[in-house]
Chain A
Amino acid sequence: MIFAVWLPLVMPLLAVPTARRLAASLPPRAAAWLLAGCAAALAACTAAALGLLTVAGALRLPPVAAFGHLERALPGGDAVVAVPAAPVAGALLACCAFAVARRALRHRAELRAARRAADAHGLAGDLCVLPEAAPDAYALPGRPGRVVVTAGMLRALPPAEREALFAHERAHLAGRHHLFLLAAELAAVCHPLLRELRSPLAYALERWADESAAARVGDRQVTARAIGRAALAARTHAAAPRPSAAPAATTGPVPRRVAALLGSDRAADRPRGRSLPGGRRLIAAALLACVTFSAAGAVDAAADLHQTVETAQGEQPGR
């Protein structure tokens, strides 16, 4: 158990770069599902491992053992490792739970605030226009979802591109993309290494919406121009360039999105690893192995602990 239980905690070290690599070579929709799914699975395994460590450690303490109807506390064979690890794991688990709850509540509060802001204005269909000069646009999830756009954004785009913008936001709403983002956000709270999955996921979701918009509008060029023009308008309007979350070494997400829409064969989406068709399969296999090991580690540790507890409760093992 003592080895298996660590597996989910260290596996993201391997799985995260692998998932990012694989996502880069997938179409946006598949990439989004992959990244969000990986984040959720790895986070769940992490939480399970922390839980197991905590329980295993706690059962070595006589009062807890008595509470669990154990005849005696668990043998301290590996107590040197388990006993100091348990309080740490317990504390981490509590921190995770607290942070996840806080994050989820904040998410809800943010959506409520945004919805109140939108509700104060008249609606036309699913569109809400905020009378502000700064160009901005976002999809406001809910029932029904809304497309929120500032007057500044509408003035910056010609009619055809406004339609592309609306189609983009409607694709976010229809695909319930905010749930993907939330899943990744909560996963990142559970394991710091999973933070690295957020930006590729955000990019995949934008690309997904871009592609839907292009299909809807029927013109990739118009869609590309709408994205580019909106980004430029927002930049020229901002007093100072916004601090970039990730100081991109090469190119930021917007030029890549535009290039992906304009480029032949969507070359921009497949920077590397595309030349070898077998390569992608290999990466996928590696990722699958990572996630499987992670889950198997947690399950194995759980089974091991279960058996140990049953033995300690005086039952015959193997029955």
Chain B
Amino acid sequence: MSETSPAARRPAGELEASVLAALWAADGPLTPAEVQSELGGRLARTTVTTILSRLHDKGAVSRSRAGRGFAYSPIHDSAGLTARRMRSELDKQDDRTTALARFVSELTSEDEQLLRSLLDEADPAGTQGAAGTVDGRHPGSGTTP
């Protein structure tokens, strides 16, 4: 009900997920303070620090000295290779719709245009325009493929 701190009531697993996602989304290692601000300040710094060290204990992230504290980054593990092979195996199945509900589904060209106009209308200020971030992350992809 209250707007104050929805984060505080969330299960620990979800908080861990959010923190790990922030590390993956970043370009380099992040300090707890940076993770906190990346998450919009919804979590207390101590909470973030605790979660980060827990993730480190589990082996999900690596850390390096940065000033008086640590900077954390996700582990690009060697197991990734195996996983990728399994994934491509998975991709070979002609359709995965049976097993997995995908977040991303196919877009036609008309869909894309419509979607962009819908999102532009929803966000007229253009602070984080729908096209902006996407194209910013993938330079040159703004033009029609």
Chain A residues proximal to chain B, CB less than 8 Å: 103, 106-107, 110-111, 113-114, 116-118, 120-127, 129-132, 135-141, 147, 149, 151, 153-160, 162-163, 165-166, 168-170, 172, 177-178, 181-182, 185, 198, 202, 205-206, 209, 218, 221, 224-225, 227-245, 247-248, 251-255, 258-259, 262
Contact = CB atoms under 8 A, between A and B. Distances in A.
Contacts of A247: 108
A166 B21 CA distance: 10
Given A117-B86, A254-B115, A255-B115, A163 B18 contact: yes
Given A122-B75, A182-B98, A221-B123, A137 B104 contact: yes
Contacts of B66: none
Interface string B104-145: 111111111011101101110000101101110110011001
Contact of A154 (B24, B39, B93, B108): B24
Nearest to A135: B104
A244 B74 contact: no
Contacts, number: 250
A178 to B, nearest CB: 6
* Most A-side CB within 10 Å, residue of B76, B115, B138: B115
22 contacts: A113-B89, A113-B90, A117-B83, A124-B60, A125-B12, A127-B21, A130-B80, A151-B25, A156-B133, A156-B134, A158-B128, A166-B14, A178-B99, A178-B100, A206-B105, A225-B122, A229-B119, A231-B105, A231-B115, A235-B107, A235-B145, A251-B110
A235 B80 CA distance: 24
Nearest to A184: B98
A218 to B, nearest CB: 7
Interface of B: 6, 11-22, 24-25, 38-40, 55, 58-61, 74-77, 79-80, 82-84, 86-87, 89-90, 93, 95-112, 114-116, 118-119, 121-123, 128, 130-131, 133-135, 137-138, 141-142, 145
A140 B115 CA distance: 27
Interface residues of B: mostly helix, strand, loop or mixed? helix
A122 B135 CA distance: 29
A221 B97 contact: no
B133 A248 contact: no
A154 B40 contact: no
A243 B106 contact: yes
Nearest to A243: B106
